[in-house]
């Protein structure tokens, strides 16, 4: 997870992450052999794809969320990925290649992530990329694996009360696109080869069960609206969702997307007016957070805090609301209160990099520079970014601070320098 968090594509969005994990957990529990633990995360990438890493980590491209016409379609792809993990397909491939240099599944996960990252850039991963690409190529699932993942995926969808036909409609659309543009096949098809035979197979299985309409959850609609509002240029997004709202003035998803894109485009008047309509029709944590962002944008910090406190009271301390609350306190320049709140949240989400960064901001706001750099170093340390973490610790040491803080800084410095040395030795062996 540390490697994933420091990956360029990893999308830090507590709301999308929470939605994907709620949906994914529901599907994982409905898998015919639910034994694995899963962690789902969003990847900021407009292409239509999802991928499973060894260890139950499932990445979902934002492009996939935007392209899903309904929740069952998105659930269909996730159920398929979950099946690859639950049926140990990755482990089976690794088993076949025992002679390779791979020693652990963790190393494999890192290799897949490295292969995903931009190859034009010179990065830490660049040296490993060539080898990682060849590993990725060997990792492509076989036809048998695909058929099994489809079969288990369909069962999972039905067990979780989604419409199994979502899997078929989504794959059919992907294939129809590919027919006309062979060279630009969606990324998903390259890692999960889709054949007519496979689609026929899914349809045969569907023939045995009556198809039914399953309404989309509000959470799905808002998550998709959030993704769509960030795509393309901001003025284009505003124009697009103005059109949708003009046609469907009551539609919560369209109102959310228009508010978010207006905020992004800097059109305050439109954001405030659309938000008012949205709030009349929906009261969820995501709507409250969006309202707080609109208010913070207009420097109405106390109204934003009011809105978030009410939402926390009503919906409980969800992670996205907790992050938004701490962030709003920092915007309101209430450093002491922010520090108190973040410290409490860190008891729930211990060593969480996002909350450690919020703690760093609170410390800096209070003029506690040594503590600020220390918290920043801890956030980096939790993402395995050792060299930048050491830089932060050196800044922390220079910033002074009391004896207690200084002794923590020294202990951390020793630990990280040791780990950096070990990693360098390991690096020469593994790659
Ligand atoms: Zn597959």
- How far is residue 87's CA from residue 189's CA, in Å, rounded to a whole number? 20
Cα of 17 vs centre of ligand 1, distance in Å, is 22
Cα of 234 vs centre of ligand 1, distance in Å, is 34
Domain for residue 429, yes or no?
Answer: no
Cα of 145 vs centre of ligand 1, distance in Å, is 7
Domain for residue 89, yes or no?
Answer: yes
Cα of 282 vs centre of ligand 1, distance in Å, is 36
User: Which parts of the chain have pLDDT scores under 70?
Assistant: 91-141, 177-191, 193-195, 208-211, 426-431
Domain for residue 332, yes or no?
Answer: no
Q: If we measure between CA atoms, which residue out of 336, 311, 332 comes closest to residue 321?
A: 311
Cα of 80 vs centre of ligand 1, distance in Å, is 6
Cα of 51 vs centre of ligand 1, distance in Å, is 8
- How far is residue 248's CA from residue 255's CA, in Å, rounded to a whole number? 9
Cα of 336 vs centre of ligand 1, distance in Å, is 50
Domain for residue 341, yes or no?
Answer: no
Domain for residue 296, yes or no?
Answer: no
Cα of 225 vs centre of ligand 1, distance in Å, is 27
Cα of 295 vs centre of ligand 1, distance in Å, is 43
Cα of 36 vs centre of ligand 1, distance in Å, is 17
Domain for residue 386, yes or no?
Answer: no
Cα of 30 vs centre of ligand 1, distance in Å, is 18
Cα of 322 vs centre of ligand 1, distance in Å, is 36
Cα of 134 vs centre of ligand 1, distance in Å, is 18
Classified as helix, coil or strand, 10 is strand
Cα of 108 vs centre of ligand 1, distance in Å, is 17
Percentage with pLDDT > 70 across the chain: 81
- How far is residue 331's CA from residue 304's CA, in Å, rounded to a whole number? 10
Cα of 148 vs centre of ligand 1, distance in Å, is 9
Question: Exposed e or buried b for every residue in 364-398, given b needs 16+ CB within 10 A?
Answer: bbeebbbbbbbbbbbbbbbbebbeebbebbebbbe
Domain for residue 225, yes or no?
Answer: no
CB 86 within 8 A of CB 31: yes
**What is the domain count for the chain?**
1
Confidence (pTM): 0.86
- Residue 125, pLDDT score: 45
Paired tokens of 347? 């008891």
* DSSP code per residue over 38-84: -EEEEE--SS--EEEETTTEEEEEHHHHHH-SSHHHHHHHHHHHHHH
- How far is residue 221's CA from residue 65's CA, in Å, rounded to a whole number? 10
Cα of 4 vs centre of ligand 1, distance in Å, is 21
Cα of 198 vs centre of ligand 1, distance in Å, is 11
Cα of 84 vs centre of ligand 1, distance in Å, is 7
Domain for residue 42, yes or no?
Answer: yes
Cα of 306 vs centre of ligand 1, distance in Å, is 46
Domain that holds residue 202: 2-207
Cα of 223 vs centre of ligand 1, distance in Å, is 24
């Amino acid at each position: 997870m540390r490697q994933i968090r420091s990956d360029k594509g990893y999308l830090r969005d507590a709301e999308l992450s929470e939605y994907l994990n709620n949906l994914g957990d529901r599907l994982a529990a409905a898998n015919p052999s639910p034994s694995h633990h899963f962690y789902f995360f969003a990847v900021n990438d407009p292409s239509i794809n999802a991928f499973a890493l060894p260890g139950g980590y499932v990445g979902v491209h934002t492009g996939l969320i935007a392209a899903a016409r309904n929740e069952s379609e998105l659930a269909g792809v996730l159920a398929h990925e979950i099946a690859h993990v639950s049926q140990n397909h990755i482990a089976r491939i690794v088993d076949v290649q025992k002679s390779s240099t791979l020693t652990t599944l963790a190393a494999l996960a890192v290799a897949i992530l490295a292969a995903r990252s931009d190859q034009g850039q010179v990065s830490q991963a660049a040296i490993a990329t060539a080898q990682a690409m060849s590993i990725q190529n060997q990792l492509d699932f076989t036809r048998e694996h695909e058929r099994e993942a489809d079969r288990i995926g369909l069962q999972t969808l039905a067990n979780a009360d989604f419409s199994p036909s979502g899997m078929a409609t989504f794959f059919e659309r992907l294939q129809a696109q590919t027919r006309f543009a062979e060279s630009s096949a969606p990324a998903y098809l390259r890692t999960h080869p889709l054949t007519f035979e496979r689609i026929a197979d899914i349809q045969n299985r569907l023939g045995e069960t009556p198809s039914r309409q399953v309404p989309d959850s509000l959470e799905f609609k808002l998550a998709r609206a959030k993704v769509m509002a960030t795509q393309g240029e901001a003025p284009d997004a505003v124009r697009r969702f103005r059109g949708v709202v003009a046609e469907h003035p009551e539609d919560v998803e369209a109102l959310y997307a228009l508010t978010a894109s207006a905020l992004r485009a800097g059109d305050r008047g439109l954001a405030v007016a659309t938000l008012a309509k949205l709030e009349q029709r929906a009261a969820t944590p995501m709507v409250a957070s969006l309202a707080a962002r609109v208010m913070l944008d207009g420097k109405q910090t106390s109204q934003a805090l009011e809105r978030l406190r009410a939402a926390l009271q009503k919906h409980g301390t969800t992670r996205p609301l907790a992050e938004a609350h701490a962030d709003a306190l920092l915007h309101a320049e209430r450093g002491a209160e922010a520090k108190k709140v973040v410290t409490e949240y860190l008891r729930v989400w211990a060593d969480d990099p996002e909350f450690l960064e919020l703690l760093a901001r609170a410390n800096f706001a209070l003029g506690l520079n040594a503590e600020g750099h220390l918290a920043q170093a801890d956030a980096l340390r939790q993402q395995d970014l050792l060299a930048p973490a050491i830089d932060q610790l050196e800044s922390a040491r220079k910033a002074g601070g009391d004896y207690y803080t200084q002794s923590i800084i020294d202990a951390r410095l020793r630990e990280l320098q040791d780990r950096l040395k070990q990693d360098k030795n390991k690096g020469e062996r593994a790659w």
